[in-house]
Amino acid sequence: MVKVTLKGDVIKEYEAGTTIAEIAKSIGMGLYKSACGGKINGVYYDLRTAVNEDCALEIVTFDEIEGKKTFWHTASHIMAQAVKRLYPETKLAIGPSVDNGFYYDFDSEVSFTPEILEKIEAEMKKIVKEDLSLEKFELSPTEALAMMEEKGEIYKVELINEHADKGEPISFYKQGEFTELCAGPHLMSTGAVKAFKLTSCTGAYWRGNEKNKMLQRIYATAFPKQSALDEHLAQLEEARKRDHNKLGRELELFTTSELIGQGLPIMLPKGARIIQTLQRWVEDEEQKRGWLLTKTPFMAKSDLYKVSGHWDHYLDGMFVLGDPAKEEEGEEVFALRPMTCPFQYQAYLNRPRSYRDLPLRYNETSTLFRNEASGEMHGLIRVRQFTISEGHLMCTPEQLEDEFRGCLELANYMLQTLGLYEDVSFRFSQWDPNNKEKYIGTPEQWDEAQGIMGKILDHLGIKYSIGIDEAAFYGPKLDIQIKNVFGKEDTLITIQVDQLLAEKFGMEYTDKDGTKKNPYIIHRTSIGCYERTLALLIEKYAGAFPLWLAPEQVRILPIADRHHDKAFEIKKELEKMGMRVTVDDRSEKTGYKIRESRLQKLPYWVIVGDKEVEDGTVSVSKRGQGDIGSMAFNDFANMLKEEIDNKVR
């Protein structure tokens, strides 16, 4: 018998080998039917996992993220089974759960139109009604290959071949006539997936590589109850309205051109003005906090990246100018910079350094270039050329925690001012000791760096999750994560602790005792990538930016031609105060001009007519409130200035 500690510290005894599912059933059928998996001593497992020793067990339902992932993973198998029933010649690729549902990639001659998606949904409903049990089994690599080759599943064969040399068993799940290569975990049967919706179909290269075949990716989501699905779909409809890739184009903030290429957005005047406003604010704030501005080249010889390690660990993500194969013949090879750190190190190395020089804080508004795969790019969120508020700080070990705190306080101030702080989460990104080829340094150095950073985060009271294999190749980092309107998570801001690259570049300082030492380096961004930040702000405010950020802050609407002089006089006075103002002097009806101002989400518009000219007033309308009455010009101007200066949201 084994002792199992359940919720509420209740201890029950079970026969060794009893599965998580059986334990859930013994507690109650309601819990069993809603169970998605279980945590044994805090580690998540499939429901079929046997309990063979004393442990703490938590039954996990859809309410928790691990439960959602399992639920959606099973739903992806149901979708794949439905596709194979309807279109047997289709080849299956992969079907993982993602942040708000799941997708499956298919290689099919059939084009998955909206009408076809409806047929797939109908077949999925039949599979759910059949309540098929999911049975897990394992085969040797040889047997697994033979089975998938016989089925003609070329993508599964490729995946099996990658793991075959390990000699480990390959796991599968079977439901009815459908068998899928899969590590799990999964629900016990298809009948639990009560409500689902196929939301879209897009193209996706196999493994995200544009050199591979273009597949069809069906996105979908699923819930235990129809009411939860309906609520989610309503949220999704609202998200589509806020999608920066749609709204940003409609508001003429940015555009793209096939002649220029994917992942290379063009900032139109309004979008460029917002980014300029952000950059000036960030650089001024960094200067107040003791950061020194640098301006470094956009490219460098391969020699620089070889010292930093980027040539060995990041080459696929770089744009290389020249032929690396001809370097031995004396031909110089350059690369556009994917990050600024090795360039700013050269500024540090400009002269000998003493402990009195530290901390030394360098910041730069950096334009960077990264060769993102075409399947990964989206609007302004992930692009190939972007601008970032980057900084590198050299300090002594004694200064490390205070300087890290300063970097975090700067990032938090930026997020709070922009209204994004409540939307972020924190991730302590660590290395994976089982993936050593991805990183530089020894296990001892990584243990030391992660130990130091962990103590700092705990001391600062940061609530964080841990991301294994998410570290930079040279050190652990604190990633500030944020989700777009569709729930996809990306890193917005990062703060990294690095004790390796200073030694590689020969960066030293003379300490108080006269010895030479390598400084610690903190890599940080204060607002992250400006393009990504703009995308998130578009979605956060649905294009209705706070006054201080709005590309057009006030629009003046003269009623007739005789009011134009007064309108332009008001414009000039507001511009003297640094405001962004336009005059709509077209021969259109005032009502039309008002509607257009409202549709363009302007913060304020004012009407100037005979009465306003005579009284020296303006008739003011505010976004979201409409007409707020007549005001003396000075009162209006001072109200605007106060709102801008305080960066009111």
128 burial level (CB within 10 Å; 0-12, 13-18, 19+): buried
At residue 80, what are phi and psi to the nearest 5 degrees? -65, -40
Q: What's the CA gap between 53 and 16, in Å, rounded?
A: 7
Q: What's the CA gap between 601 and 493, in Å, rounded?
A: 28
Q: What's the CA gap between 261 and 520, in Å, rounded?
A: 39
**Given this model, what pLDDT does residue 488 score?**
83
**Given this model, what pLDDT does residue 137 score?**
95
Q: What's the CA gap between 379 and 538, in Å, rounded?
A: 12
Tokens for 121? 């949904």
Overall residue count recorded for the chain in this entry: 649
**Given this model, what pLDDT does residue 377 score?**
81
Assess whether the previous peptide bond of 359 is cis (omega < 30° from 0).
Answer: yes
User: Cβ contacts of residue 461 below 8 Å, gap of 6+?
Assistant: none
**Given this model, what pLDDT does residue 607 score?**
96
Ranges of each domain in the chain: 2-61, 66-242, 266-298+337-541, 554-645
Closest CA to 624 of 546, 564, 558: 546
Q: What's the CA gap between 75 and 328, in Å, rounded?
A: 54
Q: What's the CA gap between 30 and 28, in Å, rounded?
A: 5
Tokens for 186? 């999964």
Q: Which CATH architecture describes the domain 2-61?
A: Roll (3.10)
The answer to whether 619 and 606 have CB atoms below 8 angstroms apart is yes
Q: What's the CA gap between 121 and 271, in Å, rounded?
A: 41
Report strand pairing: 520-529 vs 489-498.
antiparallel
3-state class of 444 per DSSP? helix
SS3 content of the chain, % helix, strand, coil (to 5): 40, 30, 30
Closest CA to 359 of 293, 459, 292, 454: 292
User: Cβ contacts of residue 152 below 8 Å, gap of 6+?
Assistant: 91
Provide CATH code, domain 554-645.
3.40.50.800
Closest CA to 120 of 236, 15, 220: 220
Q: Which residues of the chain have pLDDT under 50?
A: none
**E-state strands within 234-370:** 254-255, 266-267, 292-293, 299-301, 320-321, 334-336, 360-369
Tell me the whole-structure pTM to 2 decimals.
0.82
**Given this model, what pLDDT does residue 352 score?**
97
**Given this model, what pLDDT does residue 185 score?**
95
Q: What's the CA gap between 254 and 264, in Å, rounded?
A: 10
Tokens for 302? 């391969």
**Given this model, what pLDDT does residue 330 score?**
81
Tokens for 162? 């990658």
Around 163, how many Cα atoms within 13 Å sit in the side-chain half-sphere? 16
Tokens for 64? 């928790």
Closest CA to 12 of 30, 22, 47: 22
Identical fold at 66-242 and 266-298+337-541?
no
Q: What's the CA gap between 375 and 214, in Å, rounded?
A: 10
CATH 3.30.980.10 fits 66-242, yes or no: yes
10 burial level (CB within 10 Å; 0-12, 13-18, 19+): exposed
CATH 3.30.930.10 fits 266-298+337-541, yes or no: yes
**Given this model, what pLDDT does residue 590 score?**
94
- CA angle, corner 368, sides to 366 and 374, nearest 5? 150
